[in-house]
Structure formats: C-alpha cells, structure tokens
Amino acid sequence: MNKEHINKLKEKLKNTTNIISREKYFNAAVLIPLVFIKDEYHFLFEKRAKNIRQGSEISFPGGGFEKGDKSFLGTAIRETKEELGIEEDKIDVIGKIGSYIGRQGIIVEVYIGELKINDINELNPEVTEVDYVFTVPIDYFKTQEPKKYSVRLEQQPYYTDEKGNVINLLPSKELGLPQKYHEPWGGKSVEFDFYRVNNEWIWGMTADMIKEAIQLIDIEK
C-alpha cells in the first residue's frame, strides 16, 4: 500500500453514506404517504392484516429489498403499489428522510411522498396484507406528546428451544472470551414512543418515523 492508494481512498470516502456490515441486517424500505384532504396534509397509515409479520399493527407501506429491486426507492414504491393498490404515476416521491437502524436488526431506508388521490376510497388495499387504511392530520402529531415506555435488550449467547434443548450460539468459553460473555449480557434499556390514534397504538419504528417527519416538515409556512 502506498500514498496513491491513500489518495484513492480519500476520493472514495467523500460524502460516503456507507453502513458497515449492512449485509448482516434485514434491509427494507418504507414510504411515508401524505394525502391532501380538506385543505391539509395527512399521514396515511395501514392496519396490517392479522396473520402476517407484525400483524394487526399500524405501519406505513414498505417491505424487504428483493433481488429484482434496482434501488431502495424502488422497493418502497413497489411495496406501496402492492399494499395500497395504487398506480406508480400517482405516487409523487418528495425525497428520502433518512436511514432507520432498528433495534431488532433491521435497516430501513425511509422515503416520503404524496399520493395523488382525492380520497382514500380510490385505493384498493391488498387484503392479504392490509386490513384497512386511514389518515391522520399531520397537525395532530405536532400537538400530541407521545407516551414513553422502555424495554431491555440483551445479547444472548444461547437460548432454550420449545423442546427444552439449550442451543449454544456463541461458544464463549471455548473461544476464551471474557467471563461476562458466557451469560446474557448488555441489558440496555431502550425507549419507545407511543401515539394513541383511533383507539390504536402507533409505536416503535412507525412512531420514530413520524417524529422525524414532523421535525422536517415546516407546516407553519
């Protein structure tokens, strides 16, 4: 390695947004849909179908990156089309608001866009994935302080399966790792925001995305 390699590295690292070891995470994309109703913008939400992953929870449309997707934006648009039953020419992407690193080992590229519809009845949600859709004025979240609760996250080198067998994931002793890694470690408390809307709780990743979006949207001007 010589100085030329260092100079090339400097060029590569200009404005880098690389996420280290991304391939070890579940990679996904989400679109935060905005709908203009009665002279104000609303967020559009999905109530997820009961028998799918994270069933019966409230979310924005989105899903995992697939081999056929050319980009994460392509993933977000594809999932929005599939879940909401909307044509691509009615999705006006405003931009990307950021990358969400989930507590459960997921990286989500988050976009925001406007749905060019006059009423949510123009949508045809996919019934196997979506129970129903609804909208909430953005202003609502500007005035509501979310409730906050915490959970503790641990790194577990082993676990007990449903048959009572101990499954050793990390042979800490054999590897000669320090004693603290022979048993579950960490136990860091992480905070979750909860918004109460239409007798439903919007929380976790979706609540975090709402907070980020309303901080970026200048409603007053």
Q: Are strands 40-48 and 91-102 parallel, antiparallel or unpaired?
A: unpaired
Residue 144 pLDDT: 92
Residue 108 pLDDT: 98
Question: What is the spatial distance between Cα 111 and Cα 93, in angstroms, rounded to a whole number?
Answer: 7
Residue 64 pLDDT: 97
Residues constituting the chain:
221
> Position of tokens 């392509």?
74
Question: What is the spatial distance between Cα 80 and Cα 63, in angstroms, rounded to a whole number?
Answer: 9
Q: Which residues of 85-105 are buried (b: 16+ CB within 10 A; e: fewer)?
A: ebeeeebeeeeebeebeeeee
Q: State whether the Cα torsion 139-141-142-144 is positive or negative.
A: positive
Residue 47 pLDDT: 96
Question: What is the spatial distance between Cα 95 and Cα 99, in angstroms, rounded to a whole number?
Answer: 12
Question: What is the spatial distance between Cα 117 and Cα 153, in angstroms, rounded to a whole number?
Answer: 41
Residue 53 pLDDT: 81
Domains located in the chain, CATH noted: 20-216 (3.90.79.10)
Cβ-based burial of 201 (10 A; exposed 0-12, middle 13-18, buried ≥19): middle
Which ranges of 71-187 does DSSP label H, i.e. alpha helix? 72-84, 138-143, 172-175
Name residues of the chain where pLDDT drops below 50.
Answer: 221
